[in-house]
């Protein structure tokens, strides 16, 4: 029998856990194009979506994929795509379109080594700044970073919920190690999974203005086919949706609202993991697969009498600046290991005296070993 949610304990790959999380969140459309190391998510969705009354559509490329996802979202269907570095680059323009038209969608990026074609089968964390700044113009976006197979499921559900709540794209930024990792996954019963749906209009079609926001800065969203006729465009527009490209006032009003609906709700969106921070003199800040090595190193340091702590960034964007600033005030040294040549560490240095910060990069196919991180903790403890 086909089932929407396979509750219970499983042993699954991260990419497949992501697909199951999407199904559990109510996703019923996937538009994508195969790319290593994200293809397993697409393959699994091609099997599962028809089983639950959904549609899987393989497009001719990544540009068309995210365009199809935006269209499906506006047709009232929870929608997603998955990709990796080169495909993520191709999707940037339409990420901006989704931001401007306030189309809820989920984009999963299983990161690999770059630039260009780079290392298709190897791991990396080289797209995290692109996640925030990849498209042009001022905007805010939501990006989550799983560090386990369980989080691949949980944070995919969370990404759908946040996307629907705030009418914006939400990104799941997992590195290849997590995407291809196999470990235990517990899928809750369907009634235990919190599901958020987009806010719908309460006014008649003749009174509806598609981009008139409520006090929470989020407009109710009518969808095509529901009897509401309206204009949706990537051009600067007023509350009716009609272009206002020559209006400085409408441009400022619109862009501020698109940013502020995320910024003013950052406390609701941001999630971090804290370990041993109450008395930590040395703190390690990490995300994704590197967080696994970091927490192992911190626990080992504690066993050796070093007052180390760990801050895991489950949310990358909006950036958890309050949590990082708090760590910077309490700890005398901060270590940031990343599988890139310096990205999130720059955000840390903006909130903490850079003299306190040590960057521990790793490039190529190797992930950080706990021994490498604990060696840096020991140096900082001297």
* Domain final residue pick, 130, 158, 192: 192
**Is the distance from CB of 298 to CB of 311 less than 8 angstroms?**
no
Mean pLDDT score of the chain: 97
Report which of 304, 278, 282 is spatially closest to residue 294, judged by C-alpha positions: 282
Band of residue 177 on the pLDDT scale cut at 50, 70, 90:
very high
Mean pLDDT over 241-248 rounds to 95
Report which of 139, 141, 94, 164 is spatially closest to residue 251, judged by C-alpha positions: 139
- Looking at residue 144, its pLDDT comes to 99
Q: Identify the burial level of 86 via C-beta atoms within 10 angstroms of its C-beta, where 0-12 means exposed, 13-18 middle and 19 or more buried.
A: middle
Q: Is residue 199 part of a domain?
A: no
What SS3 class is residue 219? coil
- Looking at residue 2, its pLDDT comes to 57
**Is the distance from CB of 192 to CB of 160 less than 8 angstroms?**
no
116: how many CB neighbours lie within 10 A of its CB? 7
Q: Is the pLDDT of residue 182 over 90?
A: yes
Residues 218-242 have pLDDT tens digits of: 999 999 999 999 999 999 999 999 9
Mean pLDDT over 107-125 rounds to 96
**Is the distance from CB of 170 to CB of 159 less than 8 angstroms?**
yes
Statement to judge: residues 320 and 171 lie in one domain: no
- Looking at residue 52, its pLDDT comes to 96
Q: Is residue 120 part of a domain?
A: yes
Statement to judge: residues 171 and 289 lie in one domain: no
Band of residue 155 on the pLDDT scale cut at 50, 70, 90:
very high
Q: Is residue 202 part of a domain?
A: no
Model pTM score = 0.97
* Domain final residue pick, 192, 221, 236: 192
Cα separation of the two ends of the chain: 61
Residue 89 sits at the vertex; the CA angle it makes with 85 and 90, to the nearest 5 degrees, is 120
Q: Is the pLDDT of residue 365 over 90?
A: no
* Domain final residue pick, 192, 219, 247: 192
Residues in the chain: 382
> Among residues of the chain, what percentage have pLDDT more than 90?
97
Mean pLDDT over 50-61 rounds to 97
Mean pLDDT over 267-289 rounds to 97
Q: Work out how many domains the chain is built from and give that number.
A: 2
Q: Measure the CA–CA gap between 159 and 131, rounded to whole angstroms.
A: 14
- Looking at residue 4, its pLDDT comes to 84
* Beta-strand relationship, 272-275 and 79-83: unpaired
Cis check: omega of the bond before 37, within 30 degrees of 0: yes
Statement to judge: residues 161 and 282 lie in one domain: no
Statement to judge: residues 171 and 288 lie in one domain: no
- Looking at residue 1, its pLDDT comes to 40
Range of the domain at 304: 273-381
Strand-pairing partners, residue 171, are: 107, 143
Statement to judge: residues 183 and 326 lie in one domain: no
Crossing angle of helices 39-51 and 14-25, rounded to 10°: 40
DSSP 8-state assignment for residue 355: G
Q: Measure the CA–CA gap between 292 and 312, rounded to whole angstroms.
A: 9
CATH classification of the domain holding 38: 3.40.50.970
Q: Measure the CA–CA gap between 260 and 134, rounded to whole angstroms.
A: 19
E strands, 277-367, are: 282-286, 308-313, 315-317, 333-338, 357-361
* Beta-strand relationship, 308-313 and 315-317: unpaired
CATH classification of the domain holding 319: 3.40.50.920
């Amino acid at each position: 029998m086909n089932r929407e949610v396979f509750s219970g304990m499983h042993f699954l790959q991260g990419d497949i856990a992501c697909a199951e999380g999407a199904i559990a969140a109510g996703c019923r459309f996937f538009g994508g194009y195969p790319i290593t190391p994200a293809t397993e998510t697409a393959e699994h969705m091609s099997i599962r979506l028809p089983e639950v009354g959904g549609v899987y559509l393989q497009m001719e490329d990544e540009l068309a994929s995210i365009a199809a996802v935006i269209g499906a979202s506006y047709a009232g269907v929870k929608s997603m795509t998955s990709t990796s570095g080169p495909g993520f680059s191709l999707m940037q323009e339409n990420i901006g379109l989704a931001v401007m038209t306030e189309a809820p969608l989920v984009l999963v990026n299983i990161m690999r080594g770059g630039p260009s074609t780079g290392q298709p089968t190897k791991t990396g964390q080289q797209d995290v700044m692109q996640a925030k700044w990849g498209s042009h113009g001022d905007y805010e976006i939501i990006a989550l970073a799983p560090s386990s197979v369980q989080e691949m499921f949980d944070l995919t559900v969370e990404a759908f919920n946040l996307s629907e709540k705030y009418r914006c794209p939400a990104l799941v930024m997992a590195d290849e190690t997590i995407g291809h990792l196999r470990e235990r996954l517990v899928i809750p019963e369907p009634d235990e999974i919190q599901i958020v749906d987009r806010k719908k209009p309460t006014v008649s079609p003749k009174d509806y203005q598609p981009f008139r926001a409520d006090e929470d800065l989020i407009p109710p969203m009518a969808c095509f086919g529901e009897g509401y006729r309206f204009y949706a465009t990537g051009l600067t527009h007023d509350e009716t949706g009609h272009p206002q490209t020559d209006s400085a006032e409408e441009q400022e009003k619109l862009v501020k609202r698109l940013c502020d609906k995320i910024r003013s709700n950052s406390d609701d969106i941001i999630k971090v993991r804290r370990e041993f921070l109450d008395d930590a003199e040395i703190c390690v800040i990490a995300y994704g697969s590197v967080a696994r090595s970091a927490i192992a190193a911190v626990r080992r340091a504690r066993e050796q009498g070093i007052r180390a702590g760990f801050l895991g960034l489950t949310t990358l964007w909006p950036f958890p600046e309050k949590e990082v600033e708090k760590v910077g005030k309490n700890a005398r040294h901060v270590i940031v290991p990343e599988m890139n040549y310096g990205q999130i560490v720059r955000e840390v240095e903006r909130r903490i005296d850079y003299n306190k910060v040590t960057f521990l990069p790793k490039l190529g196919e190797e992930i950080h070993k706990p021994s490498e991180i604990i060696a840096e903790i020991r140096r900082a403890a001297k």
